[in-house]
């Protein structure tokens, strides 16, 4: 469903109460925006900051010449005395263009929530460390690059090409459980993890870090090269770091 922003412009009075610091009554020629998440913004001609606002209100009503937003004891009311323009207009999240939607040919953009179509609203969630590539999948969507022990290039749509399946093919049963004789399986439990096959008798499990393999830790588990440095699969492992010593002098 396409989201919309409601816009009212005119000679208005805005009143805010429930917060002593922001309490006010102001009148002027203003523009009122009601966003899809129930955020209400009132702008005048000065500056970039709204003169009144209520973020993600519990309720918003637009009734004739009055707009009211409530959130707990905070109350924003805007009365339109002389209306210049009003309407509801399509809106979407904005972000860096990364491709074209194969369903409607509109722009796909990278946002904090993932990749979204600016027209039909189709959304693809991404891991936080994912990079969207210029490379295109056979389905028409861009591919993304992620690191989970190795570099994987998979489709944005997990129903088309699953990152989980790619990581499982590469590393399922590749490592031994340090607490029993079992294999570590690649599982999805909120995030990707390597968990002992003997669960629940053995509840050993480690979240897979974003990074590539960098050898073997002294504890026997794999090491990963991550954005924060080299670390063991076991984030609590205090593996010994060997300091380089200077060569003896002549």
- CATH code where residue 19 lies: 2.70.180.20
Higher local confidence (pLDDT), 59 or 93 = 59
**Percent of the chain residues topping a pLDDT of 70:** 95
Structure confidence at residue 52 (pLDDT)? 93
Place of tokens 């409607």: 104
State the pLDDT confidence band at 240, using cuts at 50, 70 and 90: very low
Q: Do residues 161 and 209 share a domain?
A: no
The pLDDT tens digits of the residues spanning 195-226 come to 999 999 999 999 999 999 999 998 899 999 99
- In-domain check, residue 14: yes
- In-domain check, residue 23: yes
* Distance (Å, whole) CA 31 – CA 238: 58
- In-domain check, residue 63: yes
Q: Name the least confident of 102-106, 151-155, 165-169.
A: 102-106
Q: Do residues 13 and 48 share a domain?
A: yes
The pLDDT tens digits of the residues spanning 102-118 come to 989 999 999 988 999 99
* Number of domains making up the chain: 3
Torsion over CA: 204, 208, 209, 211 (sign): positive
* Two structure tokens written together for 129: 């460390």
* Distance (Å, whole) CA 9 – CA 32: 6
Q: Do residues 108 and 52 share a domain?
A: no
* Domain residue limits at 214: 173-232
Beta 191-196 vs 205-207: how paired, if at all?
antiparallel
């Amino acid at each position: 469903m396409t989201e919309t922003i409601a816009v009212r412009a005119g000679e208005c009075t805005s009143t805010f109460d429930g917060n002593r610091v922001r309490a006010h009554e102001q009148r002027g020629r203003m523009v009122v925006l009601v966003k899809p998440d129930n955020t209400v913004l009132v702008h005048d001609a000065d500056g970039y900051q709204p003169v009144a606002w209520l973020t993600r209100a519990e309720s918003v009503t637009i009734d004739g010449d009055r707009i009211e937003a409530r959130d707990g004891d905070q109350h924003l009311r805007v009365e339109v005395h002389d209306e210049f323009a009003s309407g509801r207009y399509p809106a979407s999240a904005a972000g860096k263009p990364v491709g074209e939607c194969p369903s409607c040919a509109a722009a796909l953009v990278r946002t904090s929530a993932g990749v979204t179509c600016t027209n039909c609203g189709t959304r693809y969630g991404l891991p936080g460390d994912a990079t969207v590539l210029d490379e295109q999948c056979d389905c028409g969507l861009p591919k993304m690059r992620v690191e989970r022990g190795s570099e994987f290039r998979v489709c944005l749509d997990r129903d088309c090409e699953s990152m989980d399946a790619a990581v499982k093919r590469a590393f399922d049963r590749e490592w031994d459980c340090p607490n029993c004789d079992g294999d570590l399986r690649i599982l999805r439990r909120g995030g990707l993890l390597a968990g002992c096959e003997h669960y629940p008798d053995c509840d050993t499990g480690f979240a897979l870090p974003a990074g590539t393999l960098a050898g073997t830790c002294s504890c026997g588990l794999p090491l990963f090269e991550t954005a924060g440095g080299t670390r063991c699969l076991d984030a609590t492992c205090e593996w010994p770091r060997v300091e380089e010593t200077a060569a003896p002098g002549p």
